[in-house]
Chain A
């Protein structure tokens, strides 16, 4: 199969259509020229037009990016709030609490997002009818209402992961000499926890959470597809199924860019939290 027939969708198109495709995508040009066409288009804000939907990629992304950003923000918030809180509670709350949370996080980590999605739909959408089962909603509150189940399905495993990391880091700080010294100086329990334990455990937790939240943009594929949310993740899955290369290419680039940017942000934040890092040349 030639590249042109691949771009035509895998059918056996007539020679005229194939020639038209070859001309439109500059397939007869040498590789560097083809690359230049793509790159100059991208840099001037035009990553191309969908081969299947015949719409500009920017329009496709623009219509969906709001939902995805909202979903990622929602899931990210759940991960940070619940994950970090659960981790801290597990670290300081005694053996019973720790064991209970270990069981919960193990289950969450073991359940993939699509299984969580099916369970959530069955429980909250079908049985209890608390949340809608499908769609993206309109207006802010309606969208939040629609995105609750997808956000829960999306955050489950990551939440458990962040909680485990938090627990380990907080435990390690609790055992540190400077924490014992702070206690011996008669500081209240809560002050010691906040200023000496959590403050010092923060950099690794921020690093892990940052990478996790950055990865959520790609992970939305499953949750959005399962709940019929029109977002970038479902667009990526559908485009890949339709062999809509221009869209897949643009989306991949976007996801990678977001990942790199969020990671950079986390590194900068970590240097602020722990000035030793900036001095060691880690940033």
Chain B
């Protein structure tokens, strides 16, 4: 349904994505993990062309076989309004602060020609589906009257309301209280799975990604270095970077021990070397790792794995 085909993105000459190839099937949940600045967010935003000014893309993002960069204004609007929905990091920032929850939930439906009464009825139902009681009262409230967790559920309800086939979730729990994070993700996943909606889920939390997603794509310096089934995250991780990330989780060491980290500093896509992007921090790097860029073979991009 969704294909990234060697997607490259530059913003004002600065490379952000350096060749992202990935497929998302209908109803599938794909997690995107990686350090800050690895290009997860831009990958997801390129689906709905939510790119900063001065962006230039090469390669393609195809939704249902149609290159999204070829869509005209009306086509893009139709895709954004009907096919793809987005859940952002901070619900406080993305819900208009001066309008009511009801306005927020119904405005896309109203624009699609749904009558006011029907739109309100559907909005109330969507709120109860994401576990918000007293829906009618909530519809008349404004964002500042709701907690962050509750507001993110409203955003999820709004995303599901228009019946999309793909939801893009860009770190939907980062801005939330730790205690509400799991709840919010559980609701998002439960509802989208029930509707067979595909999901691209960005997170820093490997465990969370493994729990929610079918497959996990690991990004580093604007490329995908490994894609693996979520169930095989621990046993099946092959790329040295993925293994380093897994090792640096708090659960990887005994309580009281010093946490492990990935040595070195994150590589930016701007200064990416000619060879493997991870070579500078990789404990197993060899000479050719620094010279020749490894080819992504469908599951990982690493010279050391080819040899085996």
Chain B positions within 8 Å of A188 at CB level: 77, 111
In the bound complex, CA of A191 to CA of B80 (Å): 15
Residue B121 is within 8 A (CB to CB) of chain A in the complex: no
Contact between A185 and B80 (Cβ–Cβ < 8 Å)? Answer: yes
Per-position binary interface string of chain B over residues 84-102, scored 1 when its CB falls under 8 Å from any chain A CB and 0 otherwise = 0110101001111111000
Chain A positions within 8 Å of B98 at CB level: 199-200, 273-276
Comparing A14-22, A71-79, A153-161, A176-184, the segment that makes contact with chain B is: A176-184
User: Which chain B residue lies CB-closest to A274?
Assistant: B98
Interface residues on A, range: 20 to 34
Chain A positions within 8 Å of B94 at CB level: 177-178, 180-181
Chain A positions within 8 Å of B77 at CB level: 186-188
- A186 is contacted by which of B79, B96, B144 (Cβ under 8 Å)? B79
Chain B positions within 8 Å of A185 at CB level: 80-81, 85-86, 107-108, 158, 162
User: Which chain B residue lies CB-closest to A197?
Assistant: B96
Contact between A177 and B90 (Cβ–Cβ < 8 Å)? Answer: yes
Closest Cβ of chain B: how far from A247's Cβ, in Å? 45
Residue B125 is within 8 A (CB to CB) of chain A in the complex: no
Closest Cβ of chain B: how far from A174's Cβ, in Å? 12
Chain B positions within 8 Å of A191 at CB level: 107, 111
Contact between B95 and A178 (Cβ–Cβ < 8 Å)? Answer: yes
In the bound complex, CA of A235 to CA of B160 (Å): 66
Q: Tell me the B71-128 residues at the A interface (CB within 8 Å).
A: 76-82, 85-86, 88, 90, 93-99, 103, 107-108, 111
Interface SS of B by simple majority = helix
In the bound complex, CA of A195 to CA of B97 (Å): 12
Chain B positions within 8 Å of A54 at CB level: none
Residue B290 is within 8 A (CB to CB) of chain A in the complex: no
In the bound complex, CA of A254 to CA of B296 (Å): 79
Residue A196 is within 8 A (CB to CB) of chain B in the complex: yes
Residue B265 is within 8 A (CB to CB) of chain A in the complex: no
Known: A186-B79, A187-B107, A200-B97. Contact between A275 and B142, CB under 8 A? yes
Residue B48 is within 8 A (CB to CB) of chain A in the complex: yes
Chain A positions within 8 Å of B96 at CB level: 178, 182, 195-196, 199-200
Contact between A187 and B81 (Cβ–Cβ < 8 Å)? Answer: yes
User: Which chain A residue lies CB-closest to B97?
Assistant: A276
Chain A positions within 8 Å of B158 at CB level: 185
Contact between B80 and A186 (Cβ–Cβ < 8 Å)? Answer: yes
Q: Which of A185, A274, A275 has the most CB of B within 10 A?
A: A185
Residue B254 is within 8 A (CB to CB) of chain A in the complex: no
Closest Cβ of chain A: how far from B68's Cβ, in Å? 13
Contact between A187 and B108 (Cβ–Cβ < 8 Å)? Answer: yes
Residue A279 is within 8 A (CB to CB) of chain B in the complex: yes
User: Which chain A residue lies CB-closest to B90?
Assistant: A177
Chain A positions within 8 Å of B50 at CB level: 180, 183-184
Task: Please provide the 7 A-B residue pairs with the shortest distance between their CB atoms, ordered closest to farther.
Answer: A186-B81, A186-B80, A181-B94, A177-B93, A186-B77, A178-B96, A274-B98
List 11 A–B pairs whose Cβ atoms lie within 8 Å, in order of A's numbering.
A178-B97, A181-B88, A184-B48, A184-B80, A184-B86, A186-B81, A186-B108, A191-B111, A200-B96, A200-B98, A274-B97
Since A177-B90, A195-B99 are in contact, a sample of 9 more A-B pairs with Cβ atoms closer than 8 Å, ordered by chain A residue number, is A181-B86, A182-B96, A185-B108, A186-B111, A187-B81, A187-B107, A195-B103, A199-B98, A276-B142
